[in-house]
Amino acid sequence: MKNRGNLTKPLALAVLLLFLILLPLFVRGYWLDVLILLTINVILVVSFRLVTTMGGWNFAHIAMMGVGAYTSALLTTKYLDWPFWLTLPLGGLVAAFVALAISYPCLRTKGFYFFLSTFAAGEAMRQVWIRFQFFGGKYGICPIIHPNPILGIEFVRAVPNYYLALVITLLSVFIFYRLDKSRIGDTVKAINSDEELCEAMGINTWGYKALVFVVASFFAGIAGVLLVHYNGLINAEAFSVAYCYKIITATIIGGAATFVGPIIGLVVMTGVTEIFRDLLEWVPLIYGVFIIGVLLFLPDGLVTLPRRMSPLIKKIQMIGKGIAR
């Protein structure tokens, strides 16, 4: 029985991986675009969730995505002719550098003040992109080249872009999972629980929080590079507060306490958005209802739904057995 339990998780992961690989065979057109954007957004939610483990809600996370996107757009299209494969990691590095630059003032704040400081930093960056023509101004930069061909594969159509996003996303998820289960992840969670005690034990709490902030921003920058080269254009409105709300909503609904919770929340919210895509003005209201409902009935997120449903399922099974007798 123990060996069977040990095999269940790897088998489930293998089935999921096979499903993701074969999915483009059954999904085409508009829905493949949705799938690509969902895949890129997974990088955002798992990196955003890493910041929440230190007790903060980073409203500059989407701005870091924009930093990576603008870095690649400027270097590949507007001013230079650098290859996509060089600007992909460089976009993440520039985002990480910007995060390091703002980490000292932002990470000195806590709770509501951390939210305000990161919100202000993100909005300041957006205004820079809008006001200065170096970044294309309010109209942005268009068109932006597709990723350069590699090994004979061209990234003009959606299917190769899906597999590119899938590979990078799976690698990112694996890195974040290992980081979450590592000593660094445990230390960051301990700092969130009692920062003063950790400082008394000689732990460099600011250093650990800065590390998490910078690493999360690096991967947000990577996601931005993928997004901008798939969409073929960039402007500051693409990295608005509304985008940030979507990521935060997915994290809350799914459950930030677990690693897979935000991913589940993102999938659910993407499905809700597509179901009501003809009523987009109602989507913020629907998001609000979802958040309130989850906070009231599933305070730890949708990830806890199977556990909460288990007693009810057992009761139904007992009732069914009683009727059968």
Please identify which residue in the block is written with the tokens 């299209």. Answer: 77
Tell me the pLDDT tens digit for each residue of 138-157. Answer: 888 988 988 988 888 888 88
Instruction: Please give the average per-residue pLDDT across 34-63, as a whole number.
Output: 92
Torsion (CA) 165, 65, 103, 259 in degrees, nearest 10: -40
The whole-number pLDDT of residue 120 equals 92
As a whole number of angstroms, the distance between CA 212 and CA 47 comes to 9
Asked whether residue 182 is assigned to any structural domain, the reply reads yes
Kindly state the percentage of the chain with pLDDT values over 70: 93
234 phi and psi angles, rounded to 5 deg: -150, 140
**Residue 86 and residue 73: Cα distance in Å, rounded?**
12
Distance CA 287, CA 321 (A): 40
Is the residue at 209 inside a domain? yes
DSSP state, 153?
A: B
Name the DSSP letter for residue 182: S
**Residue 65 maps to a domain:** yes
Q: Indicate the burial class of 253 (C-beta count within 10 angstroms; 0-12, 13-18, 19 or more).
A: buried
pLDDT of residue 249: 87
Q: Which residue has the tokens 């909005």?
A: 123
| pLDDT the model gives residue 319 | 63
Is the separation of the CB atoms in 288 and 242 below 8 Å?
Answer: no
221 and 259 Cβ atoms separated by less than 8 Å: no
Query: DSSP letters of 144-205?
Result: -PPPPPBTTB--SSHHHHHHHHHHHHHHHHHHHHHHHTSHHHHHHHHHHH-HHHHHHTT--H
Kindly state whether residue 278 falls inside one of the protein's structural domains.
no
Q: What is the pLDDT of residue 284?
A: 76
Of 212, 227, 177, the closest CA to residue 68 belongs to 227
Q: Which phi and psi (to 5°) does residue 322 adopt?
A: -65, -40
Both tokens of residue 291? 């958040």
Q: Is 42 inside a domain boundary?
A: yes
Cα(129)–Cα(126) distance, rounded to whole angstroms?
5
Instruction: Tell me whether residue 127 is in a domain.
Output: yes
Contact 66, 243 (CB under 8 A): no
Domain of residue 158: give its range: 29-239
Render pLDDT for 168-199 as a digit per residue (tens, 0 to 9).
Answer: 999 999 999 999 999 999 999 998 888 888 88
Q: Is 27 exposed, middle or buried (0-12, 13-18, 19+ CB in 10 A)?
A: middle
- Residue 111 included in any domain: yes
pLDDT (mean) for 48-54:
92
Q: What is the pLDDT of residues 218-277, one digit of tens each?
A: 999 999 999 999 999 999 988 988 888 889 889 988 888 889 999 999 999 888 888 888
Instruction: Tell me, yes or no, whether 312 lies in a domain.
Output: no
User: Domain tally for the chain?
Assistant: 1
Please state, rounded to an integer, the average pLDDT across all residues of the chain: 87
Whole-prediction pTM: 0.90
Token code pair at residue 84: 């996509």
